[in-house]
């Protein structure tokens, strides 16, 4: 049998899964502080949701979706991102009617894109994302951006670069779109076939083409920032000035266009600088999507959010040698010698675990040496030895692995003793 894991996916094994749990706990904690509530939506949705939401002409919809027909003949798609699903749920559950607006939501979960796998680009990856729907106050843009920066900083990442742009409102984009078409059209046959078809469907995406990035017309292309109308310009200025006041440095890059169609006004990415991180330097992306709720059948409700992948975050932490403070070992390992002590050990384990202590014992009938070895491998803080003699005397021999001290403890006090020791060490 030669069954292997699908390309572009990974197993998260013990030793690494603790890091994931630590990061997930951090996510829940920061979202609590910023007052975002968790939402969990299905992993698959009707294909049409992403065609409409993410956009028919985007790379994601055209080339990267895992789409299949179910047994009832419906076209379903494994979600390539979270925003469209959250907005669908917001509309379907009439969250626009809840008492407190904006509705501030977050999610953690797997996303699926059929991409060419490379480091930092997976076919299944886990996103942490937030969406604030129902307000177009520039302060919520600043909050969402600040939250992403704070999250990375609290985890200990350095060398972060926040890149900011405005894609303007519908009117500004229309004017810019025409300017882009006029700019590229006379030379479009010098561009790749993707760009040729983007010219009419989605000319903004030409600016993001990897193949043609060195074409001289890219450099001289009309900048969206020159086409912002008064309202969009003011909006952008407000977001920037709030970030200034919050002491969050950023760089404006009019070439930042994002790969999804629903954005307008604020768009941003967080990149990481420095060596050891390979070609992919974007850690997080997000922006404002004021028309999306309406596109998906809800009332006008402006939204903004971001998403980042935990895989890229872990890569970044690793490249900067940041050690996450994950709890390593077991609290207590019971070494039992003989049948009766082994049975008593099973009872003691239950007591320890009920008292909140992590504890384990041997299940392979190992000799004393083997049991001590197991305690060592599990990095147990305490090892407690119970033989026939001890059992008769009603005691247990407790050894602190770190300090090497040994102590006889009455069996009736054992659980409390270990619990107190573990609390002291916390
Ligand atoms: P996105 O830029 O497509 O935006 O993805 C956001 C983040 O997901 C990226 O910056 C990256 O960290 C991660 N990511 C994307 N593709 C992969 C991949 N193949 N492998 C590993 N990580 C990946 C969105 O998904 C939007 N929904 C963000 C958003 C939320 N905008 C508003 N609200």
Tokens representing residue 283 in the block: 């850690």
Whole-number Å distance, alpha carbon 160 to ligand 1 midpoint, is 17
Q: Is 110 in the pocket of ligand 1 (CB under 6 A)?
A: no
Per-residue pLDDT, 277: 65
pLDDT by residue for the chain (426 residues), tens only, comes to: 799 999 999 999 999 999 999 999 999 999 999 999 999 999 999 999 999 999 988 899 999 999 999 999 999 999 999 999 999 999 999 999 999 999 999 999 999 999 998 888 999 999 999 999 999 999 999 999 999 999 999 999 999 999 999 999 989 999 999 999 999 999 999 999 989 988 988 898 898 888 898 999 998 999 999 999 999 999 999 999 999 999 999 999 999 988 898 999 999 999 998 666 666 689 999 999 999 999 999 999 999 999 999 999 999 999 999 999 887 789 999 999 999 999 999 999 999 999 999 999 999 999 999 999 999 999 999 999 999 999 999 999 999 988 889 999 999 999 999 999 999 987
Q: Is 311 in the pocket of ligand 1 (CB under 6 A)?
A: yes
DSSP strand pairing (37-38 vs 103-112) = parallel
Burial 254-272 (b: 16+ CB within 10 A, else e): bebbbebbbbbbbbbbbbb
* Residues 55 and 48: beta-carbon distance below 8 Å: no
Burial class for 223, CB neighbours closer than 10 Å (0-12, 13-18, 19+): middle
Q: Is 307 in the pocket of ligand 1 (CB under 6 A)?
A: yes
CA distances from 23 to 39, 129, 150, 270 (A): 18, 13, 13, 18
- In tens, the pLDDT along 329-356 reads 899 999 999 999 999 999 999 999 999 9
Whole-number Å distance, alpha carbon 29 to ligand 1 midpoint, is 21
What residue owns the CA closest to ligand 1's atom 13?
309
| Residues facing 22 on adjacent strands | none
SS3 content of the chain, % helix, strand, coil (to 5): 40, 20, 35
Per-residue pLDDT, 377: 95
Burial class for 329, CB neighbours closer than 10 Å (0-12, 13-18, 19+): middle
* Residues 299 and 314: beta-carbon distance below 8 Å: no
Atom of ligand 1 nearest to the CA of 313: 12
- In tens, the pLDDT along 223-247 reads 999 999 999 999 999 999 999 999 9
- The whole model's pTM is what? 0.93
Nearest to 128 by CA among 279, 251, 4, 307: 307
* Sign of torsion over alpha carbons 133, 136, 141, 147: negative
Q: Is 131 in the pocket of ligand 1 (CB under 6 A)?
A: yes
Burial 161-198 (b: 16+ CB within 10 A, else e): bbbbbbbbbeebbebbbebbeebbeeebeebeebbeeb
> What one-character-per-residue DSSP string does 274-302 give?
SSSS-S--EEEEEEE-TTHHHHTTS----
Per-residue pLDDT, 46: 98
Q: Is 336 in the pocket of ligand 1 (CB under 6 A)?
A: no
CA distances from 127 to 65, 71, 83, 99, 145 (A): 16, 29, 11, 28, 16
What gap in Å lies between CA 301 and CA 93, rounded to an integer?
14
User: What's the half-sphere exposure (Cβ side, CA atoms, 13 Å) at 72?
Assistant: 3
What gap in Å lies between CA 221 and CA 203, rounded to an integer?
11
Greatest extent of the chain over all pairs of C-alpha atoms, in Å: 95
What gap in Å lies between CA 195 and CA 215, rounded to an integer?
12
Tokens representing residue 60 in the block: 């994601």
């Amino acid at each position: 049998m030669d069954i292997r894991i699908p390309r572009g996916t990974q197993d998260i094994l013990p030793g690494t899964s603790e890091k994931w749990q630590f990061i997930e706990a951090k996510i829940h904690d920061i979202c609590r502080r910023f007052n975002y509530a968790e939402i969990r939506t299905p992993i698959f949705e009707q294909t049409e949701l992403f065609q409409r939401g993410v956009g028919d002409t985007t790379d994601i919809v055209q080339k990267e979706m895992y789409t299949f027909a179910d047994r009832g003949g419906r076209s379903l798609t494994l979600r390539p991102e979270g925003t469209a699903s959250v907005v669908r749920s917001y509309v379907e559950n009439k969250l626009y009617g809840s008492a407190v607006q904006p509705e501030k939501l977050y999610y953690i979960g797997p996303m699926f894109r059929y991409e060419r796998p490379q480091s930092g680009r997976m076919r299944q990856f886990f996103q942490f994302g937030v969406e604030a729907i129902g307000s177009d106050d520039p302060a919520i843009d600043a909050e969402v951006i600040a939250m992403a920066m704070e999250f990375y900083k609290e985890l200990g990442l350095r060398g972060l670069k926040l890149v900011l742009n405005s894609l303007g409102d519908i009117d500004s984009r229309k004017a810019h779109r025409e300017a882009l078409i006029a700019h590229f059209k006379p030379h479009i046959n010098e561009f790749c076939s993707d760009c040729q078809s983007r010219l009419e469907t989605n000319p903004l995406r030409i600016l993001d083409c990897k193949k043609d990035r060195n074409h001289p017309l890219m450099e001289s292309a009309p900048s969206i920032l020159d086409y912002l109308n008064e309202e969009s310009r003011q909006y952008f200025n407000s977001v920037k000035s709030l970030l200034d006041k919050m002491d969050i440095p950023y760089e404006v890059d009019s070439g930042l266009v994002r790969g999804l169609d629903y954005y307008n006004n604020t768009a941003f990415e967080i990149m990481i600088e420095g060596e050891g991180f390979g070609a992919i330097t974007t850690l997080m992306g997000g922006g404002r999507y004021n028309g999306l709720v309406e596109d998906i059948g809800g009332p006008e409700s402006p939204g903004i959010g971001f998403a980042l992948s935990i895989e890229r975050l872990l890569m970044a932490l690793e490249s900067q040698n940041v050690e996450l403070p994950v709890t390593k070992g077991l609290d207590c390992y019971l070494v039992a010698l003989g049948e009766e002590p082994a049975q008593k050990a099973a009872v003691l384990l239950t007591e320890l675990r009920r008292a909140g202590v992590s504890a384990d014992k041997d299940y392979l009938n190992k000799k004393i040496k083997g049991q001590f070895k197991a305690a060592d491998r599990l990095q147990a803080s305490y090892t407690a030895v119970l033989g026939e003699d001890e059992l008769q005397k009603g005691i247990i021999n407790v050894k602190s692995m770190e300090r090497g001290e040994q102590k006889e403890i009455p069996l009736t006090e054992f659980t409390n003793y270990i619990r107190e020791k573990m609390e002291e060490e916390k």
